[in-house]
Structure 1
């Protein structure tokens, strides 16, 4: 019986693709994904049937992938990072019916970005997407308030786009109500893939012009500090 694999390809570079993810992609006859994601794995999908759609085509992609499995073909649908974090796993499972589905985890952009900055995620943290396509902005603001007031390290995804430029400034304003302006902030663009760039700033010196849709914004908690050019959030060991 054919099977559908929901595969996390990591942040984009093939060196951050897990062995299992690579092996599943190689064995499947059909690969389904957003056009940009397909481009990231083009070197290992030569000769396969490729199904791709553009932005906002998630439901269509899922249905096309499920149709291939119904036709008896092992198929994978890919997401960057981990498919269970802002990826395709949830939607696929909502639509799958009797089709067998296996979720293959991937390296999240937040963890890849953190590794490039040092160890900013060493304690309790949360991820918050600033995209309000599927989540009302009022809900996002409440989550920012809750996370900041609880002193979480916060990883912000989708901080900015061509049509959404003020939300990241508003997010920083909210967090600044609860945190000192000197709290370290890491900005990592294209984490783990071509075009990678990063900056270490503070809540009071965030470079909003540097930030784009491909940037992960990592905001420390009240204990986070910078040492020898690395951001560290202490776990609490008695040193």
Structure 2
């Protein structure tokens, strides 16, 4: 059996019990070095297969090859393995193998949910996830999705918002959003969510400081009804109060 495990955003408290049990009971763990470090105290005595940045295909192939020998193996992702994680790639590659591999996806807490809980209640109405990384998706496709989401007034969760290699993508996305939303639209920022140096901040599009944001951040842009109460970001569900 190959388990595809979402570790959650970073803290053990936000790891699901199912994920804990799979890691505890599986002898072989495959993962990106940073994610392996997040759970290193759970890995004593286990066989580890560790790869570096952008080694996703290699990592998934190794996990599948180990599973094909009859061993149980777990490949780990941060957050939820089915949201910008390893689940899709594992299933795609498994479908191309001559040998059938049993695959089970173990869900985790994704960054938007963890950040939302700390920021208040920004996801109480329709929302979407958009990654601003163009490593896998062409930038023109990303901008069309941002435009459509903003036009429809979704709450927008921006993953991979800003990096050294893509320093201007967040600003470009916000400029698109400003075609349809006010500069005073509430924005929540979660940085290093559920990790020791976590920073949570509620601001607006016009006051957002891009230099505070990096690849360990998530940016949640509210809809036209999102407001701030006692420092908390709230998107009304629509109840009559």
Normalised TM-score (structure 2): 0.97
**Post-superposition offset of 1:29:** 0.8
1:78 to 72, 76, 91: 76
Q: Which runs of 5+ in 1 are unaligned?
A: none
Distance in 1, Cα, partners of 2:30 & 2:21: 16
Distance in 1, Cα, partners of 2:189 & 2:15: 22
Distance in 2, Cα, partners of 1:231 & 1:128: 20
Please show how residues 100-139 of structure 1 align to structure 2 within 5 Å: 100-139=102-141
Match of 1:160 in 2: 162
Q: Which moved more, 1:191-200 or 1:121-130?
A: 191-200
- What secondary structure does 1:195 align onto? coil
Match of 2:206 in 1: 204
- What secondary structure does 1:204 align onto? coil
**Post-superposition offset of 1:84:** 0.6
Distance in 2, Cα, partners of 1:219 & 1:167: 15
Distance in 1, Cα, partners of 2:134 & 2:152: 23
Q: Deviations over 1:65-106 (max 9, x none)?
A: 011111221000011111110000000001114100000000
Distance in 2, Cα, partners of 1:13 & 1:179: 34
Distance in 2, Cα, partners of 1:224 & 1:43: 40
Normalised TM-score (structure 1): 0.98
Q: Does 1:89 align with 2:87?
A: yes
Match of 1:147 in 2: 149
Q: Which runs of 4+ in 1 moved over 6 A?
A: none
Distance in 2, Cα, partners of 1:194 & 1:53: 24
Match of 1:220 in 2: 222
**Post-superposition offset of 1:114:** 0.4
Q: Does 1:35 align with 2:37?
A: no
Match of 2:46 in 1: 48
- What secondary structure does 2:211 align onto? coil
**Post-superposition offset of 1:226:** 0.2
Q: Which runs of 5+ in 2 are unaligned?
A: none
